Amino acid sequence: MISGEIWTQLSSAITGLMLAWVMFERYFPYQLRVYLEKYSQKLTSLVNPYIQITFHEFTGERFKRSEAFSTIRSYLSSNSSKNAKRLKADVVNKSQSLVLSMDDYEEVTDVFNGVKVWWASSKKAPKTQAISFYPAAEESRFYKLTFHKSHREIVTEKYIEHVLKEGKAIAVKNRQRCLYTNNPSENWYGWKSTKWGHVVFEHPATFDSLAMETKKKEAIKKDLIKFSKGKDYYAKIGKAWKRGYLLYGPPGTGKSTMIAAMANFLDYDVYDLELTTVKDNSELRKLLIETTGKSIIVIEDIDCSLDLTGQRKKKEKDDKDDEADKEKDPISKKKKEAEEESKSSSKVTLSGLLNFIDGIWSACGGERIIVFTTNYVDKLDPALIRRGRMDKHIELSYCCFEAFKVLAKNYLELESHELFGKIEELLGETKMSPADVAENLMPNSDEEDEETCLKCLIEALEASKEEARKKSVEEAMLKAKKIEKENGEASSKDVVQEKGEISADEVKENGVTSSEEVKENGVITEG
Ligand SMILES: Nc1ncnc2c1ncn2[C@@H]1O[C@H](COP(=O)(O)OP(=O)(O)OP(=O)(O)O)[C@@H](O)[C@H]1O
Ligand SMILES: [Mg+2]
């Protein structure tokens, strides 16, 4: 025990030292202080048997956060929660667990193979307080590892490797998965600003709740497992540890839902890359460097994101009907708006994007999946989606009976029902997206039971079937008009009847187009 007298002497000595330091800081010019510090360190190193290694929070480029620093923090969290006196607390994993790490200016000891080492945490104040256009720089933290020089080999060769390995394992266990999106480059400045903003990833989708054929689902899961366990395999074949998926299909067929299911299945983060806000290829590369491993990088609606193919520069359509049709179509409208927006701001090119996917830079980090989604797979440049870049092409299509059964189980907790037969028949005859099927299966009120929901779906399927029939007649008529215009051979009546879908009377009945109207247009003659 330290007696009261010694305590008093000790505290006055500390006060004296602190005063001396304040005087030193205040009255000695900066250059002189640096000079004195440098030589005093040289002098002490001559007699000091201890070696120090510093791990800074920011390294190299000052905007890049050091991975070693955060890994060491994770490693020390388990040690310091037992030994340090001042701790910092963080809540992780959806507020379910508390992680303690040592506070600034704390010190803990660690023993490895009988060797004792000391870890100290500290921070550096920003160098300048000058008024700046950019947000103020904040302190940068660092850890200092101290050990006796006789243990240099074991510490540098084995202990540090052990710390990084353990730290990574602890970080994976504690980590909160995130959904990132790229910040516009105007907001990239400043000491601690990041290129990616993030929120906690909490999408509930899983492969179990995903409506698609079981065989297809199992194949995708198998592929994902093979990839996530393939570190050595990729190293052996000399390929970067990454895999590209192209998800294509009509709207509402589950492309975005599948991405969420993939992330939940593999326990990966998601980087949702909004290409239209990326100004050029160099910005794209910088964003790539900032992504971490164990992540899925997503570019949704790739066909709308940029004018990548050069083919999409709209040719003036001479067919006015076609153009009007496109205006009505919500996908075309969405695509047109995105194209307009991207043309004005982004200069990312196809080659820039190809480099992003499989250039030399794409190998940094490892264990990354890149997913593109599109409604129009045929419109993409073949270079972009060739195997090797997009290794797996997955079509998400309209709802089949097998997919419906998954939805019925999810939404109504039904494995079977007498109405299933009718639904199976209708699903074979008409196209409806899983999103629409799901919508019909959701009860509108508490009074609605399973049967009401299934009947509601049957009604919707019948309506969709009828609509499709009318549309096909309409299309047939338009086609006939075109053929007649081109060579004057076939009449629209011939074409429609040839298709065996509808009689001339039915055409009239359905109000698709009356024979008078057709006559007026000079397309067919009566009789
Ligand atoms: N295969 C599916 N399994 C389960 N739910 C689905 C499926 N497809 C769609 N859904 C439901 O429909 C909604 C819309 O689906 P999602 O956003 O995944 O479609 P998408 O294919 O990404 O459409 P878009 O092309 O418009 O982006 C989802 O919230 C989900 O509830
Ligand atoms: Mg989507």
Rounded to the nearest angstrom, the distance between the alpha carbon of 261 and the centre of ligand 2 is 13
The amino acid at residue 509 is: E
For the chain, what are the domain ranges?
49-176, 180-395, 403-520
**With a cut of 50, which residues of the chain have pLDDT below it?**
1-4, 95, 132-136, 309-322, 500-501, 507-527
- Which atom number of ligand 1 is nearest to the Cα of residue 300? 27
10 Å CB burial of residue 143 (0-12, 13-18, 19+) is: buried
Residue 297: per-residue pLDDT: 94
Q: Cα(347)–Cα(279) distance, rounded to whole angstroms?
A: 6
Residue 108: per-residue pLDDT: 86
**CATH class for the domain made up of 180-395:** alpha beta
Q: Tell whether ligand 1 has an atom less than 6 A from the beta carbon of residue 244.
A: no
Q: DSSP for 355-385, please give it.
A: HHHHSGGGGSS--EEEEEEES-GGGS-HHHH
Q: DSSP for 58-122, please give it.
A: EETTTTEEPHHHHHHHHHHHHHHHHH-SSEEEEEETTTTEEEEEEPTT-EEEEEETTEEEEEEEE
Q: Tell whether ligand 1 has an atom less than 6 A from the beta carbon of residue 252.
A: yes
Residue 194: per-residue pLDDT: 78
Atom 7, ligand 1: residue with shortest CA distance: 254
In the three-class reduction of DSSP (H, G, I as helix; E, B as strand; rest coil), residue 338 is classed as helix
- Which atom number of ligand 1 is nearest to the Cα of residue 209? 4
Residue 422: per-residue pLDDT: 93
pTM greater than 0.90 (yes/no): no
Q: Cα(518)–Cα(56) distance, rounded to whole angstroms?
A: 79
Neighbours of ion ligand 2 (CB under 5 A): 255-256
Residue 251: per-residue pLDDT: 94
For 273, phi then psi, to 5°, come to -90, 115
Rounded to the nearest angstrom, the distance between the alpha carbon of 421 and the centre of ligand 1 is 24
Residue 210: per-residue pLDDT: 94
In the three-class reduction of DSSP (H, G, I as helix; E, B as strand; rest coil), residue 137 is classed as coil
Q: Cα(89)–Cα(141) distance, rounded to whole angstroms?
A: 16
ipTM of this complex prediction, to 2 decimal places: 0.98
Rounded to the nearest angstrom, the distance between the alpha carbon of 258 and the centre of ligand 1 is 8
Q: Tell whether ligand 1 has an atom less than 6 A from the beta carbon of residue 440.
A: no
